[in-house]
Amino acid sequence: MDLLYVGDNRNRENWGCRGTSISLYGVLAEEFSIGGVVDGEYAAGETPIRSKLLSPEWFRKITRRRDRHPVFGYYVAAEELLGAETDFVSEDPRRSARTIYDRREENGRLGELYDAVADSDGVVINGEGDMIFTTPPRRKLLFLLSVVELADALGKPVYYLNAMISDCPVDGRNQRTAAQAARTLRKCNAVTLRDPRSLELLEELAPEAEGYFVPDALFSWHDRYAGDLSRQLPDDADFIVPFPEEEEYLNGFDLSAPYVCVGGSSLAQREPERAIPAYEGLVRELREGLDREVLLVQTSPSDRFLEEVADRTETPILPVETPVLAAGGVLANADALVSGRYHPSIFASLGGTRCVFLGSNSHKTRSLQEVLGYEDRREFGGFPSADERREIVAATEDAIEKSGDPALRETVEERAAEVRELPGIVADHWG
């Protein structure tokens, strides 16, 4: 059986996108043939489907640049007045699927996408953390749902895997998007959610759907980080700095000495001007209160604000472009991680490292604590106040004492075993 794997995000810089995409591919490839891959490029930006004056290729180039120069923006607006269609993705996944079908011969990119689905024996969607019911809705979520609709229309088995479902903590639930998602998920042969809270939301929105709790695919990398990490990591962090080896990243940070990692947050990235002073204070207080060095980890391109924090506090920083296996090793080797990021917290946990969680753009950092078996579950703010920073220092001290706890390692090993059940769920719901 040849599967089409949709949503392979290893071509993105984000550590979590790379890690979970590669690990999900590996888990599925143990039992199935992966006949094709649709990467995140289709979801990364608009794909114009009809220009009145230009070829699809040139219209796409101009559309993607319309926010960079007013001339491009005026041109696209004029095309739209003439009836041009600037994107195949709409808020109705069924309509988007129909557009893919109708325009498959005149638009090369849509033709490639259609053929990939049509030529497969079945389709698996890597859902990741995209099903957050924001206002306006996330384009990538709408794209993934449109592929489900297309696969269903073509009579292909389709599976929505490795996913999360969440309301938006800022704007609440976009009811229209939630209803659209529920309708589409009912058409999946199986839906696997990476945390119990997401499964509860699926049962609320689409009780007829075949839903299962299966931990995030990244847990399947347990064996990579369960042993002596000194065999995988150099003592000098300069040896894993990626091209083009910028001077600010060459700091000789000692990975063989005790250290604590501090990462960003999907909530903090919304307001970098507010995040910078909060994180500056946090880094200074952690450095003063702990007998450890602090290493900033830029796990997502959206965490560029950490570069300013690094400058202000003269703290070493590991860039987002770091090779993902080495990046995961740095987190797994730390004495503690303070972060509002989901997959980096899993990376840390694979090595037995305890985490102190900051606020995020969904329930993910709260629900992950349940998956990891934390007894005392707490999520600090995405912009830690002075009072919270003192509490975070105390919580980090506690995390350092508990890191390497056999109970956490056993839980992670159990989660890894549960991920291995994923191919069986696909096979059991085939056809």
- The per-residue pLDDT for 238 is 97
Pick 395 or 266 by higher pLDDT: 395
- From the DSSP assignment, how many helices (H) and strands (E) are in the chain? 18, 12
- pLDDT band at 88; cut points 50, 70, 90: confident
- The per-residue pLDDT for 52 is 62
User: Residue type for 236, please?
Assistant: D
- The per-residue pLDDT for 49 is 64
**Confidence check: pLDDT of 248 > 60:** yes
Mean pLDDT for the chain?
93
- pLDDT band at 87; cut points 50, 70, 90: confident
- The per-residue pLDDT for 60 is 67
Distance (Å, whole) CA 107 – CA 57: 9
- pLDDT band at 385; cut points 50, 70, 90: very high
- The per-residue pLDDT for 83 is 63
| Mean pLDDT score, 253-262 | 98
3-state SS, residue 193 = strand
- The per-residue pLDDT for 84 is 66
DSSP 8-class letter at 410: H
- The per-residue pLDDT for 169 is 86
Task: Identify the burial level of 44 via C-beta atoms within 10 angstroms of its C-beta, where 0-12 means exposed, 13-18 middle and 19 or more buried.
Answer: middle
Pick 361 or 346 by higher pLDDT: 346
| pLDDT > 70 fraction of the chain, expressed in percent and rounded | 92
Lay out the sheet containing 379-380: strands in order across: 317-318, 293-297, 259-265, 336-340, 355-358, 379-380
Query: Which segment, 100-104, 166-170, 187-191, 268-272, is predicted with the most confidence on average?
Result: 187-191
Distance (Å, whole) CA 358 – CA 381: 5
| Mean pLDDT score, 167-177 | 93
- pLDDT band at 170; cut points 50, 70, 90: confident
- The per-residue pLDDT for 45 is 60
| Mean pLDDT score, 310-315 | 98
| Mean pLDDT score, 60-64 | 70
Nearest to 372 by CA among 391, 348, 394: 348
CB 17, CB 40: distance < 8 Å: yes
Distance (Å, whole) CA 254 – CA 95: 54
Torsion region of 330: left, alpha or beta (phi above 0 gives left; psi -120 to 50 gives alpha): alpha
Distance (Å, whole) CA 365 – CA 163: 14
pLDDT tens digits, one per residue of 175-207: 999 999 999 999 999 999 999 999 999 999 999
Distance (Å, whole) CA 312 – CA 380: 23
Q: Which residue has the tokens 């009579």?
A: 155
pLDDT tens digits, one per residue of 126-154: 999 999 999 999 999 999 999 999 999 99
The residues with which 128 forms a beta bridge, in sequence order, are 163
- What b/e sequence results for 403-414 when a residue is b if at least 16 CB atoms lie within 10 Å of its CB, and e otherwise? beeeebbebbee
Containing 343, the helix (H) or strand (E) segment is: helix 342-350
Beta-carbon neighbour count of residue 246 at 10 Å? 12
- pLDDT band at 12; cut points 50, 70, 90: very high
- Residue range(s) of every CATH 3.40.50.2000 domain in the chain: 222-415
- The per-residue pLDDT for 359 is 87
- The per-residue pLDDT for 362 is 87
Architecture of the structural domain at 222-415: 3-Layer(aba) Sandwich (3.40)
- pLDDT band at 46; cut points 50, 70, 90: low
- Residue 299, token pair as written in the block: 């796990």
Task: Identify the burial level of 208 via C-beta atoms within 10 angstroms of its C-beta, where 0-12 means exposed, 13-18 middle and 19 or more buried.
Answer: exposed
Nearest to 133 by CA among 124, 142, 146: 142
The answer, yes or no, to whether the previous bond of 323 is cis (omega within 30 of 0) is no
- The per-residue pLDDT for 106 is 84
**Confidence check: pLDDT of 48 > 80:** no
- What b/e sequence results for 370-400 when a residue is b if at least 16 CB atoms lie within 10 Å of its CB, and e otherwise? ebbebeeeebbbbbbeeebbeebbebbbebb
**Confidence check: pLDDT of 304 > 70:** yes
- Tell whether domain 2-47+87-214 is in CATH 3.40.50: yes
- The per-residue pLDDT for 56 is 65
Dihedral sign, Cα of residue 111, residue 430, residue 415, residue 211: positive
For 183, list phi and psi in degrees, rounded to 5: -65, -40
3-state SS, residue 85 = strand
- Residue 147, token pair as written in the block: 């592929």
Torsion region of 352: left, alpha or beta (phi above 0 gives left; psi -120 to 50 gives alpha): left
User: Residue type for 120, please?
Assistant: S
pLDDT tens digits, one per residue of 92-120: 999 999 999 999 998 888 999 999 999 99
- The per-residue pLDDT for 427 is 97
- The per-residue pLDDT for 361 is 80
Distance (Å, whole) CA 130 – CA 112: 23
- pLDDT band at 220; cut points 50, 70, 90: very high
- Residue 146, token pair as written in the block: 């449109």
Q: How far is residue 137 from each of residues 16, 143, 178, 372, measured CA to CA in Å? A: 21, 11, 10, 30
End-to-end CA distance of the chain: 11
- The per-residue pLDDT for 313 is 98
